[in-house]
Amino acid sequence: MAYEGICVKCGKCKGVCPTYGILKREDLSPRGRVHLATLVRDGIDVDFEYSASTCFLCSACEEVCPQRVKILDHILLLRSRLSYPVKLSVLKLLISGTRVTSFGLNSGVAFFPGCIYSNMGKYVLESAIASMKFIFGGIDLIEGICCGFPFRIYGKSYEFDAGILDRYNLILTVCATCSHELKRKIGFDRVLDFLELIDRHRDYFEKRVSIKDKVTFHYPCHLIRGVMDRGRVDRILKVVFRDKFIPMKEEICCGFGSSNIDNLADRASINILKSAMVTGSNVILVDCPSCHLEIEKVRLKNSMPFTISHIATVFG
C-alpha cells in the first residue's frame, strides 16, 4: 500500500472520533492530533496539552484508517510529554504487590481481575469466582498487579512480571481492557474475557440467569476492537438472556481514557444512558470497570433510573 503508516489527511477518522463529534475542532480530530505529534517530534514548539488530554483512546480512528496509521502511538507520544502526578500516584496505590489466593483445586486456571475491581469491586470478584470455581473446580486469584494500560493512558510504561502467569494454562478476566492487553502480551488463546467464558459454557450460564428485568449492554471499546466483534457479543447475550436482551443501536465510548476536560467524557456517557433508555431496559450490563465507573458517575449526576452491573454479577 502506498504511503502505508502515513496520514494523508483523508478525514475518514473524523467521522468516528467522539471528541471531534462533540466539539467539531480540527485539533480534536485524529488527523489533527497526528499532525501535532509530528510537529512535536520534529522539535517544533506547539500547544498540544488540550488535544492530547481529551482523546478517549477508543481506537475507532485506527479501525477506519485506510493508511493503517498507528494513531494511538502518536497520541501517547504527546501524553508522554505531559505530567499527571495525581492520577499516576492513585494508580500506584492500587498496585500493592502480587498476591495469589487459591480457591478450590489446583486447575491451572488463574483469575486476573485487574487493579480497579481488585480494589473497588469485591462483589464482582465474588460473583466471578463462584462461576469460575464451579466450572473449573478451582482457580487462583492474582491481585496487586496491573495489565499496564492505565499507565499507558498517561504516557508512562508499566510492565508486570508476566512470569507469575507462566504456570497457568488459562487466564480469566472481568475487564475488557485487561483482556485486550493480556492477549496482546501473553497470547490470544491463553486469555479469556468473561464474555468468552460465557460463550464456552453457555449451558451453565443459561441456567443461572438471576435477573428478571430487560437488559442492555454497553460495548467497551477494547472488547469490540481487541477481543470480539459486536456481532459475536450480541449472539452470546441473545442465547443467554433470550428476549430479555435488547441491544443498543450505537457503540459509544464512555470517555474514561480522557482527562474529562470540559466534561467531554461525561457528555459521551450521557449519550450511552440515552441510548440505553431507548431500549426500554432497566439494567445496563458492562464488561469493563472503567466503563462501569464512568457510566455510573454520570447516571448518579443525572439521577437516571438504571442499574449498572458487571455481567458476572447476574448469575445466581
* CATH code matching the domain that covers 90-200, chosen among 3.40.50, 1.10.287, 2.40.10, 2.40.128: 3.40.50
User: Residue 129: in which H helix or E strand, if any?
Assistant: helix 122-136
Q: For the chain, what percentages of helix, strand and coil (3-state, to nearest 5) are there?
A: 55, 10, 35
Which residue stretches of 162-286 are H helix?
Answer: 176-186, 194-200, 202-206, 221-226, 230-241, 264-279
pLDDT of residue 248: 97
pLDDT of residue 155: 79
pLDDT exceeds 80 at position 13: yes
Range 210-314: architecture per CATH: 3-Layer(aba) Sandwich (3.40)
pLDDT exceeds 60 at position 70: yes
pLDDT exceeds 80 at position 162: no
pLDDT of residue 8: 94
pLDDT of residue 3: 58
How sure is the predictor about 159, in pLDDT bands with cuts at 50, 70 and 90? confident
Average pLDDT of span 235-240? 97
* Residue 9 backbone phi and psi in degrees, to 5: 60, 40
* Residue 112 backbone phi and psi in degrees, to 5: -110, 95
Higher pLDDT, 155 or 242: 242
Average pLDDT of span 48-55? 93
- Write down the domain spans for the chain: 12-82, 90-200, 210-314
How sure is the predictor about 90, in pLDDT bands with cuts at 50, 70 and 90? low
Give the bridge partners for 245, in sequence order. Answer: 215
pLDDT exceeds 70 at position 32: yes
pLDDT of residue 29: 96
How sure is the predictor about 86, in pLDDT bands with cuts at 50, 70 and 90? low
